[in-house]
Chain A
């Protein structure tokens, strides 16, 4: 029996470069950075004073005030993107209530509501455990994005949350596609969001030497594959894709934005934060995705790299692409859109899968900005600084997380 196919019928995004899909995409194609001075806390004591913050997000676009105040910002951003994706999909659960039992959600978050946790610690230390807000736990737990989606839209199918750090929302999309493939649901709201621009998180990443401290040049701070890169830039936000079983989507005449063709996972088994040198672990995920999609490396035209702008990631990922792609590595157009958005941690995989779908739609690869002095160990085609019009049928998106979690997704044009 032929495998059930999974297509994408709805898109939503709230990101540092735009609070909807089209403004996000316009910014990427224009090579516009969303990184700036931190506004969400007083950063005078942290080494890093810059981040890719979501600008002018108004929760009341999506929630009543009494509801939004009970949700951590990461859930607000997820639900905002999910709302956009639901509208875009044209799915109307009131018109087809039977779908409620065949619809679910898998959402990724690397950290969950850490800023809410941070706030509650002040209460605990200053006023004692008896004064902790009753909503503390529901605000901070990392699974509330998918939980809240089901509450908001009242669907009853499978829900789950992936917490594989910076690979979380790529895992969410891959796992959600698997749920549809195996017939456990027909529609899945998949993606993820993160919102951890806080003193605790910035300070902790600074101690781990993970973040750029290029505070003087915020827009130039995220510089994947460049010799002068000095760490990643924290971003916030996320994206949601509505995944739908293909026959169902065709039957209702849905607009199809692309197809989930392949999902590969592997683990480095090496270190809590560093990738396994040489790229073997990451290459295994890429190879697994290619096998799943039954596509040769030469069939991938655009690759959205994990490309964090850390010294270790970018050269290891380059080595991994060479291992997995062989002689085709020189031919694939690679870019790191984190050069513009910063690193959305658990939201990154979904945002970058979205970039792949839009690259297919418009036949254009977004650039890697700030790539002025290429690292000799990063010697592939990273689409430097200018978007490139080109024929794109199949794309691959890499996402790698602390702990050694490696995920590759293959998204293709729907035929």
Chain B
């Protein structure tokens, strides 16, 4: 899947579903520290990503997804 396509859909999800501010979202943004998404919010986000992109993110992999960029990479790795 095209990187910019993943980034665009990810941003739309973060804004539309989680109510985050669009201008704070970039690949380096850390969920907990920069975007103030708490641990429940991260779980919610990953589940929304699974639905959006039709992928499965196992719990042990989810623990290493701490930034918007790492979530993008995880989706690209799984969708090829």
Contact = CB atoms under 8 A, between A and B. Distances in A.
A64 B15 CA distance: 12
A65 B19 contact: yes
Interface in A39-93: 64-67, 69
A134 B20 contact: no
Interface in B13-28: 18-20
Nearest to A66: B19
B43 interface: yes
A131 interface: yes
A3 to B, nearest CB: 43
B44 A135 contact: yes
B25 to A, nearest CB: 13
B12 interface: no
A134 B18 CA distance: 13
A66 B47 contact: no
Interface residues of B, number: 7
B44 A134 contact: yes
A135 B19 contact: no
Nearest to A132: B47
B40 A69 contact: no
Interface string B31-66: 000000000100110010000000000000000000
Contacts of A64: 19
A69 to B, nearest CB: 6
B40 A135 contact: yes
Contacts of B19: 64-67, 69
Nearest to A65: B19
Contacts of A134: 40, 43-44, 47
Interface string A121-139: 0000000000101110010
A67 B20 CA distance: 10
A344 B59 CA distance: 42
A131 B47 contact: yes
Contacts of B20: 66
Contacts of A66: 18-20
A65 B43 CA distance: 18
Nearest to A68: B19
Interface in A133-157: 133-135, 138
Most B Cβ at <10 Å: residue of A65, A67, A131, A134: A134
A133 B44 contact: yes
A65 B16 CA distance: 10
Contacts of A131: 47
Which of B18, B19, B20 has the most A CB atoms < 10 Å from its CB?
B19
A69 B44 CA distance: 12
B12 to A, nearest CB: 15
A66 B19 CA distance: 4
B47 to A, nearest CB: 7
Contacts of A65: 19
A49 to B, nearest CB: 32
Contacts of B47: 131, 133-134
Contacts of A133: 44, 47
B28 to A, nearest CB: 20
Contacts of A135: 40, 44
Contacts of B40: 134-135, 138
Contacts of B44: 133-135
B53 to A, nearest CB: 15
A65 to B, nearest CB: 4
Nearest to A131: B47
A133 B51 CA distance: 12
A208 B18 CA distance: 39
A135 B47 CA distance: 12
A256 to B, nearest CB: 39
B1 to A, nearest CB: 22
Interface in A298-356: none
A67 B47 CA distance: 18
- 4 shortest A-B CB distances, which residue pairs? A66-B19, A65-B19, A134-B43, A134-B40
12 contacts: A64-B19, A66-B18, A66-B19, A66-B20, A67-B19, A69-B18, A131-B47, A133-B44, A133-B47, A134-B40, A134-B44, A135-B40
Interface of A: 64-67, 69, 131, 133-135, 138
Interface of B: 18-20, 40, 43-44, 47
Given A65-B19, A138-B40, 9 more contacts: A66-B18, A66-B19, A66-B20, A69-B19, A133-B44, A133-B47, A134-B40, A134-B44, A134-B47
